[in-house]
Structure 1
Amino acid sequence: MKAAVRKTKLLSMVPLSEYAIDKLEKAGDFPKRFPLTSRVVAWDQEEVEAWLDARKQNPEMIERDPSLAAKNASNPNHLKAQLRAEQRAGM
């Protein structure tokens, strides 16, 4: 390990919310944090960079939430936007 990063640095490296990172970490899809002291945690910078590189090289490995399609199908704003896009494409 070359460097350890704390949460503020991690959030500047990874453009996700704290909630999203915590959720990915708990699911085993993000590098695990480790304790520096009883109150401070950090992440291995090399592991985080490798995770980012893997996402960049293999976007198909990103699991999509199947419930989003159902949510979008019933969202009136999404339906209006879809209709406008279809109308523009037909012009």
Structure 2
Amino acid sequence: MPDTTSKSALLRRPEVLQRCGISNSTLHRLINAGDFPPPIQLSPRAVAWIEEEVSTWIDQRIEASRTQGGAA
């Protein structure tokens, strides 16, 4: 049974793009390459991303940048 005590927020595309500092085309490229969390389907025409997954992706990019001494 899923853990119902933790609440996950959902982020729509504009907020994901703003938080990650990437373009829409880059977002699609990263998803298709398996390098970004895929969205969840909310309705036939609406998708969203789980905030925790997006935050984890950002943290991983920061860590990779720091350990490699350059771009992630």
TM bin (shorter chain): 0.7 to 0.9
RMSD (CA atoms): 1.5
Alignment size in residue pairs: 62
Question: Structure 2 unaligned runs (5+)?
Answer: 1-6
- 1 or 2, which has the higher strand percentage? 2
Name the aligned partner's letter for residue 60 of structure 2. A
Larger relative helix fraction: 1
Identity of aligned residues (%): 34
Question: 1:11 corresponds to which letter in structure 2?
Answer: L
Cα offsets for 1:12-39 (capped at 9, x unmatched): 1110100001000000000101100111
Paired residue for 2:40?
A: 34
* Structure 1 ranges of 4+ moved more than 4 A: none
What's the TM-score, normalizing by structure 2? Answer: 0.79
CA distance in 1, matches of 2:13, 2:61: 20
TM-score normalised per structure 1: 0.63
Which segments of 5 or more consecutive residues in structure 1 lack a partner in the other structure?
63-91
1:52 to 36, 48, 58: 58
Q: Which has the higher contact order (CA 8 A, sep 6+)?
A: 2
